[in-house]
């Protein structure tokens, strides 16, 4: 069983909560672990992860506060300061962004569960010995969603720009909205560029980038800025483009986010590398990412946590 248009609420209504696995009061989000029915007429259920996030305000709806607010109650007033609680009227723009992963694997549950972090250093040697075998062992099914997009089987109508250099032996890409974005709140604009691979080639992460990929990276930078400007009026310099290391999915992609959308966990030092810096480093030395020691944080639930933590003792300085 899955979502049918028009009957989404009915399906979500079947959710049975097992645990709250993460909460972020600053981002106004909560992640729930539970189950949903697998079929229509059986009692079988599978694990589901549901993330609820309150959407940001759209400045346009704030012009007339009385049309936004259903009720308001004064809590306290002191000199020129007052604080109140209010509730929103039914709005065209929905109040919640809901992300569902169903059926959720163990890897998903681990990824979305709050966990403590450590910082590790990955030398090229540790990459070869620990990280590369870990990436090699990833089942292709983990990036099926990427392949579906690249093959135009899913999210086709959302494609904002497509470069078909892969058909001529280069690296192409396409840009689409990230599933985290609600497609309306420009202040939280979030797009993703997914790489189209030429036949017989792969590009799994930052570690594999060389000067060969400079045209690809520069093109993503140029067209992301053009699209964001033409579609959403984002001014020059209004975007933050970055690459995760470690990413969750080992098919190279670039995150494209409104520069004012700060505070996201995935943008922190220890995970995000600015695309501008990546390009500049490659311009200085085309093999730099095969030689660098890369530092990053790992959650205690991450499969690399134990081997990488143990290997830190072998580093000489």
Interacting residues with ligand G7M between 128 and 147 (CB under 6 A):
145
Q: Which of 192, 224, 279, 304 binds ligand G7M (CB under 6 A)?
A: 192
Residue 246 is assigned to a ligand binding site: yes
Task: Using the minimum distance from each CB to ligand G7M, give the nearer residue, 55 or 68.
Answer: 55
- In the chain, the N- to C-terminal Cα span, in Å, equals 54
Q: Does 183 bind ligand G7M (CB under 6 A)?
A: no
Q: Three-class SS string for 189-225?
A: CEEEEEEECCCCCCCCCHHHCCHHHHHHHHHHHHHHH
Q: Is 253 one of the annotated active-site residues of the chain? A: yes
Alpha-carbon dihedral 152, 155, 156, 162, rounded to 10 degrees:
-80
Q: How far is the CB of 298 from ligand G7M (least distance, A)?
A: 13
Stretch that binds ligand G7M, among 89-97, 122-130, 166-174, 240-248 (CB under 6 A): 240-248
Selecting among 108, 166, 196, 253, the annotated active-site residue is: 253
Q: What is the DSSP string of 34-85?
A: EEEESSSSS--EEEEEEEEEEPPPPGGGGS-HHHHEEEEEEEEEETTEEEEE
CB of 281 to ligand G7M, least distance (A): 18
**Among 108, 166, 244, 273, which residue sits at the site for ligand G7M (rule: CB under 6 A)?**
244
Residues 6+ apart with CB under 8 A from 317: none
Bridge partner list, 15: none
Binding residue count for ligand G7M, defined by CB under 6 A: 12
252 is in an annotated binding site: yes
Among 30, 178, 281, 300, binds ligand G7M (CB under 6 A): 178
**Is 21 within 8 Å of 106 (Cβ atoms)?**
no
Per CB under 6 A, does 180 bind ligand G7M?
Answer: yes
Interacting residues with ligand G7M (CB under 6 A): 145, 155, 176, 178-180, 192, 244, 247-249, 255
- Give the residue numbers annotated as catalytic, written as ranges: 253
């Amino acid at each position: 069983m899955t979502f049918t248009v028009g009957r989404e609420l009915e399906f979500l209504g079947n959710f049975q909560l097992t645990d709250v696995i993460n909460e972020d009061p600053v981002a106004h989000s909560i992640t729930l672990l539970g189950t949903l029915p697998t079929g229509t007429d059986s009692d079988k259920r599978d694990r589901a992860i549901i993330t609820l996030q309150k959407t940001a305000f759209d400045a346009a709806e704030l012009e007339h506060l009385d049309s936004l607010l259903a009720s308001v109650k004064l809590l306290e007033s002191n000199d020129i300061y007052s604080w109140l609680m209010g509730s929103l009227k039914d709005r065209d723009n929905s109040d919640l962004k809901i992300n569902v992963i169903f059926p959720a694997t163990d890897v998903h549950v681990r990824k979305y569960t709050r966990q403590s972090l450590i910082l590790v250093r990955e030398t090229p040697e540790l990459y070869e010995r620990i990280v590369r075998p870990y990436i090699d062992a990833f089942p292709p099914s983990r990036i099926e969603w990427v392949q579906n997009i690249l093959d135009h089987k899913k999210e086709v109508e959302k494609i904002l720009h497509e470069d078909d250099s892969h058909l001529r032996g280069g690296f192409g890409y396409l840009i689409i909205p990230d599933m985290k974005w609600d497609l309306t709140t420009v202040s939280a604009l979030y797009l993703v560029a997914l790489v189209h691979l030429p036949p017989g080639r792969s590009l799994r992460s930052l570690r594999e980038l060389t000067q060969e990929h400079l045209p690809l990276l520069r093109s993503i930078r140029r067209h992301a800025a053009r699209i964001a400007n033409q579609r959403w009026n984002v001014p020059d310099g209004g975007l933050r483009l970055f690459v995760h290391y470690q990413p969750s999915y080992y098919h190279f992609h670039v995150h494209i986010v409104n520069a004012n959308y700060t505070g996201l966990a995935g943008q922190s030092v220890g995970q995000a590398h600015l695309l501008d810096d990546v390009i500049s480093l490659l311009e200085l030395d085309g093999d730099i990412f095969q030689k660098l020691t890369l530092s990053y944080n790992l959650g205690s639930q991450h499969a690399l946590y134990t081997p990488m933590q143990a290997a830190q003792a072998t580093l000489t300085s």
